[in-house]
Amino acid sequence: MHQRILIIIPCYNEETALPAVLRDLKAIKQFNLTILVVNDCSKDRTAEVARQQGIRLLDLPVNLGIGGAMQTGYKFAHRNSFDLAIQLDGDGQHLPSELHKLIDHHNATGDSVVIGSRFVQKTAYRSQWSRRTGIFYFQLLYKVLLNRKIYDCTSGFRLFDKKAIAVAAQVYPDDYPEPESLILFSKLGMNIAEVPVLMQQRQGGASSIGSVSGVYYMIKVTMAIIYSFIRYSQKKTWNAFRS
């Protein structure tokens, strides 16, 4: 209860799904939650929706993409010295009722990064075959680079502790940050864990990954992952973070 937890909701045109997410979050009383909406220069009324509900809002004047928007949230968490930060999408895909699973896991194990995963166990969630192929491919990549299995590297439902927040506030990838950031955290020696959660099909809005740009996404993320792997393998960058 004494833990101060920041819920970061990155939003781009989420006026339809956001009110329900905020309502569900506000109903949670068992944790000391602060809700923060990061509005990535939406073209709809996302900012007004958040303001009306009296939610803390970071309103980006320029569209930065998901990575830049998330990092703004982590900077906020770092400067206001929150104990934990949890990223949760504004489209209704991630259920606020599943929050406790991430927090409980962190409190039990002390793992720095906890990912809410769709695939650790069989759940009702069904994704497109193209996305499944992509995720299988990334599992292979992580197996080769990090020698461990990460089931759901694209999941945007994740918990960071103070250490991870401090790093993310400094460096966070820009365009498709979820898979790439795992390399960073792993290379810095932080524990990454996955917890099975229920997820819903999105309630509104569109994925940041379109079907047409899927191949582009794979190539770009692969490059980003490999270059990050090399960059954070170098001792110099590594030491800069430890101090």
3-class DSSP string for 166-206: HHHHHCCCCCCHHHHHHHHHHHCCCCEEEEECCECCCCCCC
Distances (CA, A) of 86 to 40, 102, 131, 161: 18, 9, 23, 9
Closest separation in Å from C-beta 89 to other proteins:
19
- Among 27, 61, 124, 147, which residue sits at the site for other proteins (rule: CB under 8 A)? 61
Q: Which is nearer to other proteins, 50 or 199 (CB)?
A: 50
Residue pointed to by tokens 């917890």 = 195
- Among 27, 62, 108, 144, which residue sits at the site for other proteins (rule: CB under 8 A)? 62
Q: Are 121 and 51 in contact (CB under 8 A)?
A: no
Closest separation in Å from C-beta 222 to other proteins:
19
Site track 70-99 with other proteins (rule: CB under 8 A), x = hit: -xx--xx--x--------------------
Closest separation in Å from C-beta 125 to other proteins:
32
Q: Are 89 and 156 in contact (CB under 8 A)?
A: yes
Site track 166-205 with other proteins (rule: CB under 8 A), x = hit: --------x-------------------------------
Closest separation in Å from C-beta 35 to other proteins:
13
Phi and psi angles of residue 204, each rounded to the nearest 5 degrees, phi first: -170, 175
Window of 20-28, 69-77, 202-210, 224-232 that interacts with other proteins by CB under 8 A: 69-77
Closest separation in Å from C-beta 223 to other proteins:
14
Window of 2-10, 53-61, 153-161, 230-238 that interacts with other proteins by CB under 8 A: 53-61
Q: Which is nearer to other proteins, 64 or 135 (CB)?
A: 64
228 binds other proteins (CB under 8 A): no
Query: Widest CA span of the chain, in angstroms?
Result: 48
Going by DSSP bridges, is the β-strand pair 56-59/113-117 parallel, antiparallel, or unpaired? unpaired
Window of 59-67, 177-185, 210-218, 225-233 that interacts with other proteins by CB under 8 A: 59-67
Closest among 58, 113, 119, 132 to 90, alpha carbons compared: 58
Q: Are 180 and 173 in contact (CB under 8 A)?
A: yes
Q: Are 65 and 55 in contact (CB under 8 A)?
A: no
Binding site for other proteins (CB under 8 A): 38, 56-62, 64, 68, 71-72, 75-76, 79, 174
